[in-house]
Amino acid sequence: MLACLVIGGFFFPMGTELLVLVMLIAGAVAGVIAARHGHDWDAIQRTTGGKIASVLPVILILLSIGMLIGTWMFSGTIPMLIYYGVQLIDPQYMIITAFLVTAMMSLTGSSWAAAGTIGVALMGVAAAIGAPLAATAGAVVSGAYFGDKLSPLSDQTNICAISANANLYDHIRNMVYTAGPSFLVAMLVYFAAGTMADSDSATGSDIDYPILREIEQTYTVSWLVFIPAIIVILGTFNRKPAALVMIVSSVTAMAVGISMHGFSAYNAILSATSGFNVSMIDTMTNAPSDMLQTLLNRGGVNSMSTTLIIIVAAFLLAAGMNVSGALDKLLQTMLERVQSVFGLIAATLASGATMIALTSHGGVTALIVGGLFQDSYRDRGLAPENLSRSLEDSVTILEPLLPWTVSAIFMATTLGVPTVEYMPWAVFCMTGWIFSLLLAAFYTRTGFGLKSL
């Protein structure tokens, strides 16, 4: 897979088509290896089907977010968030604001929901005020995965604790040792980036943005357009099923668009399925600008179809490697070389990073790696929270940085910025493993940073 990515990158742009083709080629190779070890295509199909079934809730959330974005454009929810955000947010603090707001939203337990709702609105604000899009997207991704790593409502946080046999809240408290410094470093980087990029910028309320006038002509300015967003926030904090909450919010958004802005019911259905389009607007006196079209023309269930294809391709690759025993061989080889606490932490991080790169599924990776390393941590007198933290630092926050994983593709598609462009700015996601290794390296001298049994 890596060889094909490198070779293909020299001749073709690094797009979705190349990623799908590369994963299918790698999956075919894995299938041939599995066949040489006495397995057949039916075994790979069954394993692939099992993996897809295990992530069905995630797939439903994915489709729901596509519907949500389209209907929130239809209701004016996202445009109104942009309308007020442009006036309230100082361009100088756009990047750090994106990080803090998304981090707060992600504490509800879903990085995808945070990026797909408030993250999309923040990207619209950044585009409108001329803030750097790659840096803003990186800040959104960092904030989204802050909650996915630390929230007790997050599926991934719970899975990492379960896979290491650790208490959930002990696991979260122990993560402060690496998440805290990463959070502070991200804050400093985003503050410095904003200061250097826009040190002389005026506040949003002092600037006349043409996009604001276009939004005023398109939608009725009212607080009622925020009802769909309030439904998502309340439903998430009350731990209701994310997909159902988003569907309810989408239906409400369709009703708001019809009743408040005069859009047709037919266009409401189109917005939910194919996405919103400025051609649905018949109240504008002038032709819509390119910026307004870029802002509004998006969403719909169909917009997530490419991501679903990539999920299937990734799981075909993972199934071939799993059936042939290749994944177990890779992890066991790493375990054989462990001789110290630092080596154990490093092996866990490397195993997690390797597995998530191959499987593109954080939950499966955490469960497999956690099961393999539990005894090693216990034998060295280390509490299971150290293992679960290492899983978070190598699996949870690295996943959106690998361009071929499901999470990275979702973030790039939703935010409109390629993974390789926002990656350097996803500071929180890039520094967790560094602090994890530093704590392990100095643990024998300081006794700080790792928890004993």
Residue 371: inside a domain: yes
Residue 143: inside a domain: no
Per-residue burial over 32-46, b = 16 or more CB atoms within 10 Å of its CB, e = otherwise: ebbbeeebeeebbee
Look up the domain containing 330 and give its range: 14-51+311-401+432-446
Residue 157: inside a domain: no
Residue 37: inside a domain: yes
Query: DSSP assignment, residue 452?
Result: B
Token pair of 139 as six digits: 């800040």
d(CA 13, CA 373): 39
In sequence order, the 6+-apart residues with CB closer than 8 A to the CB of 326 are 30, 33
In sequence order, the 6+-apart residues with CB closer than 8 A to the CB of 367 are 159, 162, 163
d(CA 300, CA 376): 47
Kindly give the confidence (pLDDT) of every residue in the chain, 453 residues in length, as a single tens digit, with 9 standing for 90 and above.
Answer: 778 877 877 787 656 677 788 888 988 998 999 999 888 889 888 988 887 887 677 678 778 878 988 998 899 888 887 777 667 777 788 899 899 988 887 875 668 877 877 788 788 888 877 888 999 999 999 999 987 788 776 778 878 887 888 887 788 889 999 999 999 999 999 999 888 765 444 444 444 557 677 888 888 888 899 999 899 878 867 878 878 888 999 999 999 999 998 899 999 999 999 999 888 887 666 777 776 776 788 888 998 887 778 778 877 887 888 888 887 777 677 777 777 888 899 989 988 898 888 767 777 778 778 877 888 888 888 999 999 999 999 998 999 999 888 789 889 988 889 999 999 999 999 999 999 999 999 888 887 888 888
Residue 317: inside a domain: yes
Per-residue burial over 272-286, b = 16 or more CB atoms within 10 Å of its CB, e = otherwise: beebbbbebbeeeee
Structural domain count, the chain: 1
Count of CA atoms in the C-beta half-sphere (13 A) of 97: 18
Token pair of 197 as six digits: 């990029």
Residue 341: inside a domain: yes
Residue 358: inside a domain: yes
Residue 30: inside a domain: yes
